Amino acid sequence: MDALSDLMRGVRAHGSLFGSTTLTPPWSLHFVDGAPLSLCTVVRGAGWIVPEDEPPVRLGAYDTLLVRGPGTFTFVDEVGTTAVPVECGVECATPEQGGTRHRLGWHDPGPPGGHGTRGDGSGATTLVVGAYPVHGEISRRLLQALPVVLRTPAGGSVDPVLDHLAAEVAVDAPGQQVVLDRLLDWVLVCTLREFFDRPGGRPPTWWAAQRDPVAGTALQLLHTEPAAPWTVAALAERCGVSRATLAKRFNDLVGEPPLTYLTRWRMTLAADLLLERPTATVAEVARAVGYADPFGFSAAFKRVRGLSPSGFRRTAASASPAADLHAAGTGSTGRAR
């Protein structure tokens, strides 16, 4: 398994929110949940995403933006819009009802005695937002590799997926929510690929190292078989190079020796296992990540995580679960004139 696939195993869209809007400016949508990761894309029209404590970013058709929480963000027609609250006809399923699918429509009454623009399709802007809950330490490592705001422009590998997304948003068919969620996951992966590969970017070290024939092979082995009894010699043999070559290439590209990387990854896996399996003993978790000796595992865990395995489990159990539940959906308030 490659590193990105491994890090994304706990990042999945569920009950994606989308707004299909026909409007006359000004308008404003405030997404208030502050999900750990939100994906925003405009499949028709244009507007501005204004993240909390970050500069505004314009989104045109097929532009995609990732916003890392916990800050909230707003979608507006123009920065500094004069939008005021009006009755806007909101139909929204709350997270308790199984999702946050959200259809928003604005009514422009037009001039006195005239007719509004709602329903005629002119000037329509369709914003699609996927709110991603992030459960566990594995997925948090992915978030740590991302800036607060990440934008990829139209014209890349995401466009064909957005064609499917736009077509699905335009219909109301059984199973639509599942289709939207899976398409958003596809958009997320394509967006991350493009961002990490962009010229002049600063991707995480493991991203560039994956393409190296030596370090990339070693990374894939460590992620595929993390509990194997790895030594530098065994890893070098599987990679078809000498120990010295493997150690130098891995350290140069990843920034740390292969067994140091493996230890940190094992402790990340162990942290999630300690929480996912509350009845498992420390010895059982130790064996699951490649340690025959629970005392050696406990020492390594405390060195990497700062707490013993039991202390980590107690601390996590006593912490409020609100953060993860809070990320299960994205709410919004709509304002327009």
Structural domains in the chain, CATH included, are 3-203+326-336 (no CATH), 206-306 (1.10.10.60)
pLDDT score, position 237: 96
What mean pLDDT do residues 283-302 have? 95
316 vs 321: CA distance, rounded Å: 9
pTM of the model: 0.75
Write the single-letter amino acid at 293.
D
Query: Which residues lie closer than 8 Å to 47 by C-beta, 6 or more apart?
Result: 27, 58, 59, 75, 76, 77, 125, 127
Q: Please give the Cα distance from 77 to 47 (Å, whole number).
A: 5
What pLDDT, on the 0 to 100 scale, is given for residue 23?
A: 53
Of 289, 252, 284, the residue nearest 270 (C-alpha): 289
Q: For residues 21 and 27, which has the higher predicted lDDT (pLDDT)? A: 27
DSSP 8-state class, residue 11: B
Q: Is the pLDDT of residue 305 over 50?
A: yes
The rounded percent of the chain whose pLDDT value lies above 90 is 34
Which stretch, 13-22, 55-64, 100-109, has highest mean pLDDT? 55-64
How many angstroms separate the Cα of 253 from the Cα of each of 145, 150, 206, 237, 315? 16, 24, 8, 19, 35
Band (pLDDT 50/70/90 cuts) for residue 17 is low
For the record, the structure tokens of 234 come out as 């065994």
pLDDT for residue 4: 82
Q: What are phi and psi of 137, to 5 degrees?
A: -75, -30
The residue-averaged pLDDT of 258-287 equals: 94
More confident site: 141 or 89? 141
Q: Kindly tell me if the per-residue pLDDT of 306 is higher than 90.
A: yes
Distance, CA of 178 to CA of 161 (rounded, Å)? 15
Q: How many residues does the chain have?
A: 337
* 210-239: average pLDDT: 94
Q: Is the pLDDT of residue 38 over 60?
A: yes
**Assigned token pair, 256:** 């740390």
Q: What pLDDT, in 10s, does the model give residues 240-250?
A: 999 999 999 99
Specify the DSSP element, H or E, that contains 59: strand 57-59
Give the pLDDT mean for 71-80: 85
Q: Between 252 and 119, whose confidence is greater? A: 252
Structural contact between residues 125 and 47, judged by C-beta atoms closer than 8 angstroms = yes
The reported pLDDT for the residue numbered 10 is: 66
